[in-house]
Amino acid sequence: MEKTIRIFIAGAKALKQERNCIKVLANDLSSKYESRGIHIIAHSYEHFDDDQKSYNNYIEKAADIVIFILNGRIGSKTEEEFIKATDSFKRENRPEIILFVHDYSNEELTADIGRIQGLIAGRLGDKYHVDYSSLDDLRNKARERIERFVEQYVSQYRRVGSGFTGARKTKKISNLSTWVKQQKKLFYYLLGCLVLLLGFGILKLYRDNNKPIVIFAGGGSVVNYIKDLTHDSVDIRSSDYIYMNLGSGTSWDLLAEEANRYNNNEGQRRIISICLSADEIDTSFFNEKTKNCWENACIVGYFLGEDPLMVYLSEGLAEERHISNDSIISHGELAKLIRDSKKDSICIFSTSEKSGTLRQYQKCLKKIDRTLDLKNMLESGMSHLFYQDTKLDYINKLSSRNDIPVFAILGSKHYTVNSLLLLKSNDAYKKFYLKDDSGLVCKPMYVYFVASKNDQDLNIQEPIIEFLKNINAERHVNESIWKNIMNGRLYLKGRSERITYINKNN
């Protein structure tokens, strides 16, 4: 008996070199295994005339292996393919899923990478994720994993005597009933063990399939704030949670997606999104795109507290600008510094355009100069993104003026570059609270989740209740409301309500 192993290569269309690399590898391996009766073929979307329905069907029903190649981005079509493949794997234990993600450096992190990490952890687990750094590295790692799959396949057929060419067949038992009589005691013992194993397996499968997956999505400042608030007892970044580092605007979109699922009458949620936002949801979110989401669902918000905006300046820049007034920088001084950044070679670093932090900076600066647009500065390359794990070498390299770093990092008390804070001496930088005419500028910190509407009640799922308990939300919530939350429900003021807060205007 001969066997054809079918591989589908998924990923962004731009990764043509990577797809061709795997196709060439498949041909090489097919030649290697030909003498053993194994043929290996690799297809990608090009083989199906870019017909999404056709290759989705191929993934679900024909492919033995699906290889995903991601380079920090994941489009809607690739995400659809990933979901199709993982759903098929959970149903039928096939196809084998091998996922390669380009080994990006910290400064190249994007919101998409956070989403990729969340999808992997939520549907498969980290063990399916393989980093690659180059085409050669991809080829070597893909070869190793495809060969491993083939050898396991061959070994499995040998055990059951399925007759690959060149495979050693097990001796066929001519009379099964005679053999059973001879081995009756052993047979019933094994049968009993099998029944027990199946029973435990079915019970575990039932539990696993009915246990919701909770994904935390949002900015790192809220994660750090919660960690401080709970004295390190709740760390969203730990292995106990699935966390996607996304800007507030992007994490809000997950709420709309979840609300739409309630409208489709899908019942109890298998995937629950808890958004950690460094900004308050405003009317801009309830737009044409989301207006039909809220018939059967409502967003519930819990206010955690405030995180002061904090500007981190290289020491030389602070002295040059004479900014040393009690660790305070005014919004006027910051606006002037940003206006002069190109002329004076000052490197500006900010968070992503959809982050709550950037939105708060933008609101503050607009009071002084309406022409200042941090989002446009990012898009045009006049400023740069930073992340909590960004390397200090990267900051210094981009901001070097006459071999001296000249930078301004627009962060907050709970979010900046970790490697900056770990410096043994603070002489390399100074930190300043941002102040406007009203006082210190702070960003609000919220936890948002979706609850289903049931007449005049909102139903809250158990994992959300547990999380609220863990972060000690009881301290800031009216006693009667908290009692209702512990019973999994909230009273809804109006049927058309789209968002309600459990510790504001109770």
Q: Are 214 and 187 in contact (CB under 8 A)?
A: no
Q: Domain 213-306+444-501 - what CATH class?
A: alpha beta
pLDDT digits (tens, 9 = 90+) for 448-503: 999 988 877 899 999 999 999 999 999 889 899 999 999 998 888 776 788 889 98
- Indicate if the pLDDT at residue 408 is higher than 90: yes
pLDDT digits (tens, 9 = 90+) for 299-347: 999 999 999 999 999 888 888 888 866 689 999 999 999 999 989 999 9
What's the topology of domain 307-442? D-Maltodextrin-Binding Protein; domain 2 (3.40.190)
> How much is the pLDDT for 173?
34
Q: Are 47 and 62 in contact (CB under 8 A)?
A: no
Q: How confident is the model at residue 187 (pLDDT cuts 50, 70, 90)?
A: very low
Indicate the domain borders of the chain: 3-160, 176-210, 213-306+444-501, 307-442
* Intrachain domains 3-160 and 213-306+444-501 with the same fold: no
User: And the tokens for 137?
Assistant: 């590295």
Query: Is domain 3-160 in CATH 3.40.50.10140, yes or no?
Result: yes
Question: Average pLDDT, stretch 78-106?
Answer: 80
> How much is the pLDDT for 190?
52
- Indicate if the pLDDT at residue 397 is higher than 70: yes
- Indicate if the pLDDT at residue 203 is higher than 70: no
176 vs 404, which has greater pLDDT?
404
> Is the pTM higher than 0.75?
no
pLDDT digits (tens, 9 = 90+) for 72-83: 677 767 877 888
> How much is the pLDDT for 206?
42
- Indicate if the pLDDT at residue 398 is higher than 70: yes
Long-range pairs for 265-272: beta carbons < 8 A, 24 or more residues apart:
265/296, 268/212, 268/461, 269/212, 269/461, 270/212, 270/213, 271/122, 271/212, 271/213, 271/214, 271/215, 272/212, 272/213, 272/214, 272/215, 272/449, 272/461, 272/463, 272/464
| Bridge partners for 223 per DSSP | none
> How much is the pLDDT for 53?
83
Least trusted range by pLDDT, from 93-107, 188-202, 281-295: 188-202
